[in-house]
């Protein structure tokens, strides 16, 4: 992605944030969450703070300042060429000095990430400022992805799709291998197919282990007749993909086929329910009701899905207790599962974009029952 595209998109995001600050009667926001700073500026270093004023667009960028330490002198200039940069090890205190100098009366801070001690030190250092809790304002903006973000998510999903296809083609899913061996090979193949990183530790769960929703790979050996659950994702440009597929090794039992068909039907119902304005609880219910009607509601042990972006789990959460509605441009997973303890389980998961004309599927690997 070119610097021009980055600065254009990040400037637009800061403009939307300013409107949100004015809506909340805040003079400025001190952003200290590094992912939020990346979203608003493109900066990817490990130490930074960002001061965003609520002024209207006329001259607003003149009083929007990023601060990092000397290790990132060159990086901040390259990644954030459109903003004033300050260099100070104590980044947030330096920006507080500027906020005081500019007469900020009410300063929002990210109370969901700032510690009690940090807040106390800030209040002591800048008694002129009225500090106001402003949790998850940037995350509210991040819920809806722009087309640049969706392109990165699409590429991350493609890297995962291609890696899985390569793994199957080379016979990587076969009896005699261990869960760890399969997981390591799949992760390596994601890098081979363009990933910058992995989204999370790959889940490989064979046989009875497939009934554990977030099983961590072990030296358990894959055996003929096992259900084999793979939950994995790739990162590109900081954006994550997330996909789960469940296979059967060599021979399938009728109970496995019936279970797979049930989960696939529930997953299709959940996907079909994705629409702008849909209540997240209703989306969960669309899939869950299919499983409940079959008598296995108590074996669907988690929510239906979650948002995906700069974090592997972000808003919105899609579950029985979820609140709010889906927005056009949100990117979410749909991942029902049914788990028979000690026997095996099936989960099928896709990453999708909520669109007016219907959800856009980003993970394209077949969801047909495959016997490998």
The pLDDT of residue 55 is 84
DSSP 3-state of 231: strand
Which pLDDT does position 124 carry in this prediction?
96
Q: What is the pLDDT of residue 56?
A: 74
What local confidence, expressed as pLDDT, does residue 42 receive? 97
Q: Which long-range contacts (CB under 8 A, 24 or more apart) does 179-183 make?
A: 179/204, 179/205, 179/206, 179/209, 179/217, 179/218, 179/219, 179/220, 179/222, 180/204, 180/217, 180/218, 180/219, 182/217, 182/222, 182/230, 183/217, 183/232
Could you tell me if residue 329 is left (phi over 0), alpha (psi between -120 and 50 degrees) or otherwise beta? left
pLDDT value of position 228? 98
Which tokens sit at 170? 């080379």
- Give this prediction's pTM: 0.95
251's tokens: 């021979």
Walking along the chain (372 residues) 10 residues at a time, the average pLDDT comes out as 59 95 96 98 97 81 94 97 96 96 95 97 96 97 97 98 98 98 98 98 98 98 98 98 98 98 98 98 98 98 98 97 97 98 98 98 98 98
Q: Which CA distances in Å does 133 have to 65, 89, 148?
A: 20, 24, 30
Tokens of 203: 């889940």
Please compute Rg for the chain using Cα positions: 23
Buried residues in 23-47 as b, exposed as e (16+ CB within 10 A): eeebbbbbbbbbbbbbbbbbbbbee
Backbone angles phi, psi at 225, to 5 degrees: 90, -5
Q: Tokens representing 345?
A: 């389980």
174/187 Cα distance (integer angstroms): 17
């Amino acid at each position: 992605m070119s610097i021009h595209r980055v600065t254009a998109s990040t400037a637009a995001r800061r403009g939307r944030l300013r409107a949100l600050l004015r809506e909340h009667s805040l003079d400025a926001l001190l952003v200290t969450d590094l992912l939020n700073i990346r979203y608003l500026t493109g900066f990817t270093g490990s130490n930074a703070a960002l001061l965003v004023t609520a002024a209207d667009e006329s001259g607003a960028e003149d009083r929007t300042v990023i601060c990092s330490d000397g290790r990132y002198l060159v990086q901040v200039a390259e990644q954030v060429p459109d903003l004033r940069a300050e260099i100070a090890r104590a980044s947030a205190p330096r920006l507080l000095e500027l906020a005081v100098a500019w007469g900020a009366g009410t300063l929002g801070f990210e109370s969901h990430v700032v510690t009690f001690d940090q807040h106390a030190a800030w209040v002591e250092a800048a008694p002129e400022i009225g500090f106001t809790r402003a949790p998850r304002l940037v995350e509210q903006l991040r819920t809806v992805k722009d087309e640049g973000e969706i392109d990165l998510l699409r590429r991350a999903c493609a890297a995962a799709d291609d890696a899985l296809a390569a793994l199957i083609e080379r016979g990587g899913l076969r009896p005699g291998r261990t869960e760890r061996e399969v997981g390591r090979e799949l992760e390596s193949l994601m890098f081979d197919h363009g990933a910058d990183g992995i989204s999370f530790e790959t889940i490989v769960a064979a046989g009875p282990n497939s009934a554990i929703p977030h099983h961590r790979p072990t030296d358990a050996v894959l055996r003929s007749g096992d259900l084999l659950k793979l939950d994995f994702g790739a990162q590109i440009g900081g954006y994550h993909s997330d996909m789960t597929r469940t296979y059967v090794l060599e021979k399938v039992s009728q109970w496995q086929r019936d279970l797979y068909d049930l989960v696939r039907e529930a997953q299709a119902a959940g996907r079909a329910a994705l629409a702008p304005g849909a209540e997240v609880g209703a989306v969960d219910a669309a899939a869950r009701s299919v499983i409940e009607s079959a008598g296995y509601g108590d074996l669907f042990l988690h929510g239906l899905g979650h948002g995906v972006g700069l974090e592997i789990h972000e808003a919105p959460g899609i579950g029985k207790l979820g609140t709010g509605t889906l927005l056009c441009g949100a990117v979410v997973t749909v991942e029902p599962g049914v788990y028979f303890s000690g026997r095996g389980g099936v989960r099928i998961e896709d990453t999708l974009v909520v669109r007016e004309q219907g959800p856009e599927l980003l993970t394209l690997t077949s969801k047909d029952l495959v016997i490998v």
